[in-house]
Amino acid sequence: MRQFAVIGLGRFGQTVALTLSKLGAPVIAVDKNQSVIEDISDKVDFAVQCDATDQKALAQVGVSSADVAIVSLGEPLETSVLTTIILKEMGIQKIIVKGKNHEHGKILSLVGATDVIFPDEDVAEKLAQKIIHPNILDLIPLLPGYSIVEIVPPKQFLGKSLLDLNLRRNYGVEVLVIKRGDTVKVIPSALDSMEIGDTLVILGKDEDIEKLRSLK
What is the C-alpha to C-alpha distance for residues 199 and 212, in angstroms, rounded to an integer?
A: 14
Same-domain status, 12 and 92: yes
Report yes or no: 97 and 71 within 8 Å, Cβ to Cβ.
Answer: yes
Residue 137: the pLDDT is: 43
DSSP β-ladder status, 146-151 and 27-31: unpaired
Q: Is 166 left (phi over 0), alpha (psi -120 to 50) or beta?
A: left
Domain that holds residue 54: 4-117
Same-domain status, 110 and 186: no
- Whether the predicted model's global pTM rises above the 0.75 cut: no
**Mean pLDDT computed over every residue of the chain:** 84
Per-residue pLDDT band at 122 (split at 50, 70, 90): low
* pLDDT 10s digits, 130-165: 444 444 444 455 566 777 788 888 889 999 999 999
Same-domain status, 13 and 97: yes
Crossing angle (nearest 10°) for helices 77-90 and 102-111: 30
Q: What's the domain count of the chain?
A: 2
Residue 211, pLDDT > 50, answer yes
What is the C-alpha to C-alpha distance for residues 29 and 18, in angstroms, rounded to an integer?
A: 9
Same-domain status, 151 and 109: no
